Structure 1
Amino acid sequence: MEHLPIHLPYEAKVGGPVQYRWMYPFERFLHHLKKKVKNQACVEGSICEAYIIQEISSFCSMYFESTVETRLNRVPRNDDGGDVESVGRLSIFSHPGRPFGPMNNARFLEDGEHYAAELYVLMNCEEIYPYVEMFDEMAKKECVNISDKELEKLRDTRFPKWFRQFVAKHKDEIDPRVVEMSYGPGRIAQCYKGCFTNGFKFHTPRLWE
């Protein structure tokens, strides 16, 4: 075992990167071929027949109308609705995503939940970044020796209120979309079983209770 660090560099030097010579891709392909076996008496013929049928169907489906669903244009399993039209939208609301399942209920957000939602939207919206920088500069002037950790904590506790007051004073000079952001999110939240986004499916914790 102590010779392993010696042999591994030698193998890499002689054989090159492992991804060009390992057997995993071929083993995975053989696994797909074995699943095509329906007649145990004629294994090779069963694989060839299924493989040819798959190739023919894939080739022919390329000439179908775009409205015909085939394996080439099939909607992904975790379809999130595709790209969202970004014209007239703030950057944070331009990400693809959609809920699934019936809407269970609508509930009133508690103060902590409402504040967390407001802070998250403000801190992750590109159009709000200039105001975050203004707040940081103001905080550094008030406390010259403030650390990054203290600044982040101050931002989490005071920025939403400061942003709301700043926008109220300069409402005529600011983008109307940013003005609407200063009002904060609504108090009523719609609850679903989960959502699709970026090709993934997310469930709410309640599903596993």
Structure 2
Amino acid sequence: MRGASLETLRVHGLKSHDYHVWLERIMPIMIRGYVDEETWLVLAELSYFFRQLCAKELDREVVKKLDKQAPELLCKLEMLLPPRFFNPMQHMILHLPQEALLGSTVHTRWQYGPERENKKLRDQCGNKCKIEASIDEATLNKEVSNFTTKYYDEKIPTQHNQILRYNAANPDDVPKLGIFIGLGGTSRGMKRRKITNPEWGLIHSYVLKSMVEVKPYVEQFTQKYWKLRRDPTEQEENDLFVNGGGYGFINWFSTLAKIDPEMKPELKKIAQGFTSPVNAYDAYDVNRYRFHTHEYTQHRANRKTTNSGVLCEGSDGLHYYGRVEGIYELNYGFGKGLNPVVFKCHWFDPHRVKRKPEIGWVEVERSSIYARDDVYILATQAFQVFYLPYPCKNPKKRLQGWDV
């Protein structure tokens, strides 16, 4: 960490943005276990206050709640800290929510943007003896190039016609199916991997269950082979999906696709299943995140980021936390750039998760394991998370084995 001194046990030399990251994300984890729980809850509440206030998007109702919360939070701090700690800067907490209501998001009023722009202008200065003229000439050249590139041919990549980072397929060629919405792009380490049963069946079953277009056929299959008067339970639905009619939904749907003239051609390709082997990757870009497999992350030398944490909301309403173990591109015969991607994940037990919504806190037991075999999700369903362990090693605090 920048500015950390192990000799003096102090952190110094940070920039204002560094302090924001420390206050909003790191400080509550760093001090828990070293102060009493009541003090920690107040400081964690302060951290969450600034995290909500400095978000990229603001909800007016949330900001109004922060406005009511600010005086109470300041009183709690005054009960914990000595009077000489407080000066006009600490009391600014009272006015920050009102400023956000009047002036919109905080980051649009920060000085980081103008400071970065000033740095760009200084970098454009080639002649230190004529600073203003040098910057003016560089800016003029930039504006001329910006104007003229607007009239380049569409096939020539420019800043107005950039090469797509993600799926580069022609939008007219993309099938109108739910699994193709938000396709991302592979970025590193392609290998061929053979998928055999039962793994092939688990992956294909999840793809079919995730498609809105397939649900009418699942209902038709259930009505045909469910003989009891009551509705099936979740476990009975899964058993029926796998073994209904003696051969299961996958085989029934594949056979139906060959004889049903009304079924869409795209669905018929999906019904036949994906080919094996598949392309396996170490990295994949989707939903504005870059995901890495856990194995690749662990073997990266001098890594500065960890991109294998994943979050997905289940059909049961629970939030599942885990890490990416494999990235597989499935070939259903739609052509290059139109292959859906699934993540094979190591999921933590969703019932071994602690939540404190009043401070935006989620704790996951690192050693817990999700016991079922449905460990696959579509890449477009994934959200990225980062796990941070507690530094406190005191066994009496019972923090070891839990990540935030």
**Structure-2 separation of matches of 1:17 and 1:94:** 35
Question: Once the two structures are superposed, what CA deviation does each residue of 1:4-50 show, in whole Å capped at 9, x if it has no partner?
Answer: 5533355456x543556443433333233233233333333322221
1:56 equivalenced with 2:144 (yes/no): yes
Match of 1:190 among 265, 270, 279: 279
Distance of aligned partners of 1:48 and 1:94 in 2 relative to their CA distance in 1, 3 Å threshold:
same
- 1:58 Cα deviation after fit: 1.0
**Deviation, structure 1 residue 55:** 0.3
* Match 1:80 to one of 145, 167, 171: 167
Helix, strand or coil for the counterpart of 1:111?
A: coil
User: 1 or 2, which has the higher strand percentage?
Assistant: 2
The corresponding residue for 1:71 is: 159
Would the aligned equivalents of 1:131 and 1:163 in 2 still touch at CA under 8 Å? no
The structure-2 alpha-carbon separation of the partners of 1:82 and 1:203, relative to structure 1 and needing over 3 Å to count, comes to farther
Instruction: Give the match for residue 199 of structure 2.
Output: 113
Q: Partners in 2 of 1:93 and 1:45 — Cα distance? A: 54
Cα distance change of structure 1 residues 34 and 63 upon mapping to structure 2, 3 Å threshold: same
Equivalent position SS for 1:42: helix
In the alignment, is residue 132 of structure 1 matched against residue 218 of structure 2?
yes
Alignment of 1:95-110 (within 5 A): 95=181, 96-97=183-184, 99=186, 104=191, 106-110=192-196
User: Could you tell me how far apart the structure 2 residues matched to 1:75 and 1:169 are?
Assistant: 41
Say which of 233, 237, 241 aligns to 1:159.
Answer: 241
Structure 1: gaps of 5 or more residues: none
CA 1:71–1:8 in 2, change beyond 3 Å: closer, same or farther? closer
- Quote the Cα distance in structure 1 between the aligned partners of 2:274 and 2:125: 57
Q: CA 1:181–1:68 in 2, change beyond 3 Å: closer, same or farther?
A: closer
Which structure 2 residue ranges, 5 or more long, are not aligned? 1-73, 76-90, 300-404
Is the alpha carbon distance of 1:129 and 1:31 closer, same or farther for their aligned partners in structure 2, counting shifts above 3 Å? farther
1:81-101 deviation per Cα after TM superposition (whole angstroms, max 9, x unaligned): 1444457x4615645455466
**Who is 1:46 aligned against?**
134
2:386 corresponds to: none
Number of equivalent positions: 201
1:67–1:185 CA distance, 2 compared to 1 (3 A): closer
Tell me, yes or no, if the aligned pair for 1:99 and 1:192 is still in contact at 8 Å: yes
Q: 1:109 to 1:73 in 2, by over 3 A?
A: same
| 11 and 170 in structure 1: CA distance in 2 versus 1, 3 angstrom threshold | closer
My pick for the range that moved more, 133-142 or 160-169, is: 133-142
From the two aligned structures, give the one with the greater helix fraction.
Answer: 1
8 Å contact from structure 1 (residues 90, 127) kept in 2 = no
Distance 2:273 2:184 in 1: 21
Indicate the RMSD between aligned Cα atoms, in angstroms: 4.0
Counterpart of 2:214, as a letter, is I
- CA gap of 1:9–1:94, structure 2 versus 1, over 3 A, is closer
Identity %: 24
Q: Distance in 2 between matches of 1:170 and 1:18?
A: 52
Query: In 2 relative to 1, CA 69–171 (structure 1 residues): closer, same or farther, beyond 3 Å?
Result: closer
TM-score (norm 1): 0.67
